[in-house]
Structure 1
Amino acid sequence: RRAAMGSLPQLASTAAVFLAACAFTANVGAVDTAPLHDESNTQIHGPRISTVAFGSCRKQQLPQPIWRAVLDLSPDMWLWTGDAIYPKPGAGEIEIRRAYESAMSNKDALAFFSAVPIVDGVYDDHDYGENDGGKHFEMREQSRLAFLDEVLQSPKDSPRRTQPGGLYGSRVFGTPPQQLKIIMLDTRFSRDSHAIPSPGGSKHLPKAGYLAGATRSMSAVFGIGQTHDGDVLGEDQWEWLRSQLTNSSASVHLIVSSIQVLTTVPAVESWGHFPASRKRLLSLLAELRPAGALLLSGD
């Protein structure tokens, strides 16, 4: 059988929360091997997987009725594409972990994550711990471990805890020619600063996030940053990404980026503010031409 794909968007909002979720369907065959890690940090899973739901931007202190709608899809897997929580600006590791605990104390979230067998994904800036944060964030190692502990409940020996360059990782489901590969990029841990460093992470400026958006917009208007050579992934992750795409046997590749790749809206954080990295990513995809490539983004 050929792999088949379809999408079923689910959008729910209240005054409390706005979260988008989609379902992805792929007919991939089951394989009898047990889950394992290989040398390239890929988890290989045997159970048949038919529906992957994904979403981002959850404010943990507010109601979360969206989970009921997503649960109706009976997803086999949930993918975080960033901002699983919104801690207060300047929050330390303890506050971040408490925010995760608060998020999971919600009854709808508890019901959802108790029913979904596989949870994976990546953080973005808010659950990373600094708005618009990158490699200069002094708490990046603590944030990595907090996300792996509290959100993914990763094994203590997971290479994502100690590998250079961040918590990127991948999973493979099924066997060729009915195979799905999910590639999750870390766009925070090794990312350089914007051409004009973002004020979004300031603990002292009021409405720092809005000021950051205005700064990015003005940079676009005046052409500042068009030749910015700042990097998004870091060389360790670039090398890993190439290895994941080279000669891949998967018929569908879901590539997760917490920031948008193709948007032309300058106010939001995106790969567009790092033109050299964006060109490198698109050139890599054009060179290796992974089958059924889909870009999933949060933010």
Structure 2
Amino acid sequence: MTRIAFGSCHSRGAVNKRLSIDPHNEKTIWDTIAAVVQPQTFLWTGDAVYPPMEVKGDYPLEVLKYEFYQMKTNTTLGYASFIQNKMLEAGIYGTWDDHDYGGNDRGYELKGKDERRDAYLDFLGVKRKNNDRSGVYNSVEFGKQPNKVKVIFLDTRYARSKHCIPSVGSHPYVPHGAIFACLTRWLTAGFNLCSNGGEVLGEEQWEWFERQLAESKA
């Protein structure tokens, strides 16, 4: 294993906007990755999809499934042909962030988490042995000793506690929400307002993470 590519934050809407401005430029980011990097594996680090702008609040499961379907079948996006490329001999792996989880800045409180998890794993092409895992955290090893590489993907959404100050980002109708979100987080951290011991990974994932580190031969 010598060539690994990784990425995040892929917006179908942004691709469509670019094509509306320059319809003759059909080259996609996936074409560039394939030509320049020629990766043997691709790693998603979050936000593989975004919902349409008209979708407000938490994203219905069917909207997420549709966006995943578009990624894997809509040839204008470029991802469909990218994942069929034989150079990706080691496969595709990853974890989600808030948008492919299903709600802007959401955590454990998001409804339908298990169904959303299953939809994301289907998007990655993961063959699920069971549905008991609380989230999409996983690990993968590449290569052989002495050059073995281990990649650990953490899930920072499924078990994450609510913000002590409600997240402005999860409320789509707040004017200038991004500015308010920055201010509330700055105030919270700067003045140590909420040392509430909240969860990010959850106990199950922490135990798994510790085992991954302790038992790794990479």
Q: TM-score, normalised by structure 1?
A: 0.61
Deviation of 1:210 after TM superposition, in Å, equals: 4.4
Structure 2 residue aligned with 1:75, among 24, 27, 39?
39
Q: What is the DSSP-based 3-state SS (H/G/I as helix, E as strand, rest coil) of the residue aligned with 1:175?
A: coil
Which structure: greater strand fraction?
1
Structure 2 residue aligned with 1:191, among 149, 160, 163?
160
Residues 239-276 of structure 1, C-alpha deviations (whole Å, 9 max, x = no match): 001111104210xxxxxxxxxxxxxxxxxxxxxxxxxx
Question: Unpaired runs of 5+ in structure 2?
Answer: 16-26
- Measured on the aligned residues, the alpha-carbon RMSD in Å equals 2.0
% same residue: 35
Report the counterpart of residue 19 of structure 2 in structure 1: none
Deviation of 1:219 after TM superposition, in Å, equals: 2.2
Residues 177-207 of structure 1, C-alpha deviations (whole Å, 9 max, x = no match): 2211111111100111123121322254355
**Matches of 1:238 and 1:132, distance apart in 2:** 21
**Residue 109 (structure 1) aligned with residue 79 (structure 2):** yes
Q: TM-score, normalised by structure 2?
A: 0.82
Deviation of 1:238 after TM superposition, in Å, equals: 0.5
Contact 1:131/1:200 (CA < 8 Å) preserved in 2? yes
Structure 2 vs 1, CA of residues 101 and 61 (structure 1 numbering), >3 Å: closer, same or farther? farther
Deviation of 1:68 after TM superposition, in Å, equals: 1.8
Structure 2 vs 1, CA of residues 96 and 209 (structure 1 numbering), >3 Å: closer, same or farther? farther
Q: What is the DSSP-based 3-state SS (H/G/I as helix, E as strand, rest coil) of the residue aligned with 1:110?
A: helix
Letter in 2 for 1:154: V
Report the counterpart of residue 12 of structure 1 in structure 2: none
Report the counterpart of residue 205 of structure 2 in structure 1: 237
Contact 1:60/1:86 (CA < 8 Å) preserved in 2? yes
Which structure: greater helix fraction?
2
Structure 2 vs 1, CA of residues 247 and 110 (structure 1 numbering), >3 Å: closer, same or farther? closer
Question: Unpaired runs of 5+ in structure 1?
Answer: 1-48, 251-299
Report the counterpart of residue 133 of structure 1 in structure 2: 106
Q: How many pairs are equivalent? A: 197
Report the counterpart of residue 48 of structure 2 in structure 1: 84
**Matches of 1:247 and 1:145, distance apart in 2:** 27
